[in-house]
Amino acid sequence: MRSTTPGRAHRRVALNTSLVTVAAMALLSMPMGPASAAPARAPKGDPGQLPAKVSAREYRTLVARAEARQGETRSALKLGAKVGLKVKTVVKDQDGTTHTHYESTYEGLPVLGGDFIVHRSKAGSIERVSQALTKPLQVETAPKTLVSTRPNTPKAEGSVAPRKVVWVGEDGEPVLAWETVVGGTRKDGTPNRLHVLTDAVSGKRIIEWQGVQTGTGRSQYSGTVQLGTSSSGGSYVLRDTGRGNHDTTNLNRATSGRGTLFSDADDTWGDGTAGNSQTAAVDAAYGAGETWDFYKTVFGRSGIRGDGVGAYSRVHYGTGYVNAFWDDSCFCMTYGDGQGNSKPLTELDVAGHEMTHGVTSNTAGLVYQGESGGLNEATSDIMASAMEFWANNASDVGDYLIGEKINLRGDGAPLRYMDRPSRDGSSLDGWSPNAGNVDVHYSSGIANHFFYLLSEGSGSKVINGTAYNSPTSDGKPVTGIGREKATAIWYKALTEEMRPTTNYADARRSTLAAASKLYGQSSAEYAATANAWAGVNVGSRVSDPGPGDPGPGDPSGSWAAGTAYKTGDVVTYDGASYRCLQAHTAMPGWTPPNVPALWERI
């Protein structure tokens, strides 16, 4: 039955349930001019810094314009002849400012973690540049030990032979490395795409991360929904032409391949039970559609890459597979059917979680390991929860609980709690020096907790019928600013400030930069962002800063780890003043007296 909803390419799909959904409503900085040592007045917020609504056609134009400027950009950044740039993504603000994320190469080799974010004004001039490197990119690409350190190609199916790359880690130091991708499958049946980097000189392991990013959620709880379908040869298929031709396919228990596109004679899909193979497809397609609409309506983003091209969803992966995952290699989401093939993991916020892994991959590119991996997972939980509230589905109301209805543990408890993550027995409520060594699904608790505090504040409260009680690491209260503002800050930080190796200290800096641009450095929103991070033991608190007071931890104030400094910034440390010599993000222990290459005493 065709939908009569104006302006939306949906069809109403009847399930054998009684509820009807409510229709969804709609850094490292380098200055381009002379720096001043005098403290600047705290900037005011600018609504023009919110994301612009960019069509797929306009996005392609923005990318083409950035590609045409690559030579000019290389010259302006003084990168040298050996460094190449490739446009990864472009974000445009309402005021015309653009933020172009470049991947780089060195003598033709991919530079992993060495991305540049170039921020240009509406007129096209470069205002600042964000990067991980702390010194010019230079590395010996043909050391004598290169042959002897080359790893063997793994035998597992889907493995990729070692390739030579340059790795730039959190310390900003470039290292020549071998990247090997190990294929096969993991113990739970998830495809394995393990990226292993080894030092090309010493042969020692540097880092490893998974290329297949996993997550879990609910299923069969969305009631009667609208789907985007297409007519084909007298029947219908689950292809959403209004959302980039997103397909939903049936793997029919297989663990590879694209699957078979779902088709139906009367455009009425599923019956609300796991026994009907179409039901999981309905939930997956609905979740993908709502997530597409959320990013488009709230952030002006046309699809995962912003180019208007839809991903696709595969359901009925394997037998009894209790998970779901995003895979860059197929640009797709994949869902298992759960224990006993009775609880497909295809609920609304699962689609939001998995599709957001794709958005993260095509923006900040947070490496799925260590603290950056925790931030990657948290980003998927954060945006999925925001989307779930936005969708306003009466059968699956918005909440800050992850997986509360699939009952995977058998005790009725959710998989994750955003208000107090440690309630699951494994997740972290706050940062500690060991955070980078914890499974990314558990270290994500730090940012999940931050987002809850920033949205709702600390203490006990009831939201949509669910009770929460959120503590803070320092025992002090945090006042929330509302979920919409908190989500806007996180998205702006993700797409304009964060980089592949961003850790929690840099995530604090990134969100403070976003809050300053959107609401002003003197705003309650800025103060709440800093205080919410302090509530999870990342950085210090601030009072609501007045004009001219940049607040502790910022350039022209006291030196603080996790802060992005520009050349020329002046800070105080132990009563002495220092001027920044090179743009960098301060790491713990990089105090001005300890790193004379970065600071000079004045």
State the Rg of the chain over Cα.
Answer: 24
| CA pair distance 162, 178, nearest whole angstrom | 6
- With CA atoms as reference, report the closest residue to 42 among 568, 554, 433: 554
Q: Is 436 left (phi over 0), alpha (psi -120 to 50) or beta?
A: alpha
Tell me, yes or no, if 179 is annotated catalytic: no
With beta carbons less than 8 A apart as the criterion, state whether 180 and 153 touch: yes
Q: 578 — phi, psi (to 5°)?
A: -135, 145
- ∠ CA(218), CA(190), CA(308), 5° rounding? 70
Instruction: Give the SS3 label for residue 209.
Output: strand
Catalytic residue among 354, 456, 496, 525: 354
Q: In sequence order, what are the beta bridge partners of 577?
A: 572
Instruction: Give the SS3 label for residue 191.
Output: strand
With beta carbons less than 8 A apart as the criterion, state whether 511 and 486 touch: no
- With CA atoms as reference, report the closest residue to 112 among 208, 212, 213: 208
With a CB cutoff of 8 Å and minimum separation 6, the contacts of 6 are: none
- With CA atoms as reference, report the closest residue to 366 among 378, 348, 383: 378
| CA pair distance 5, 453, nearest whole angstrom | 37
Tokens of 306: 């912003």
Catalytic residue among 101, 316, 357, 441: 441
Tell me, yes or no, if 441 is annotated catalytic: yes
CA–chain centroid gap for 334, Å, is 18
| CA pair distance 517, 513, nearest whole angstrom | 6
Instruction: Give the SS3 label for residue 455.
Output: helix
- ∠ CA(216), CA(291), CA(11), 5° rounding? 110
- With CA atoms as reference, report the closest residue to 450 among 515, 386, 500, 507: 507
Burial of 82 (0-12, 13-18, 19+ CB in 10 A): middle
- Which residues are identified as catalytic? 354, 441
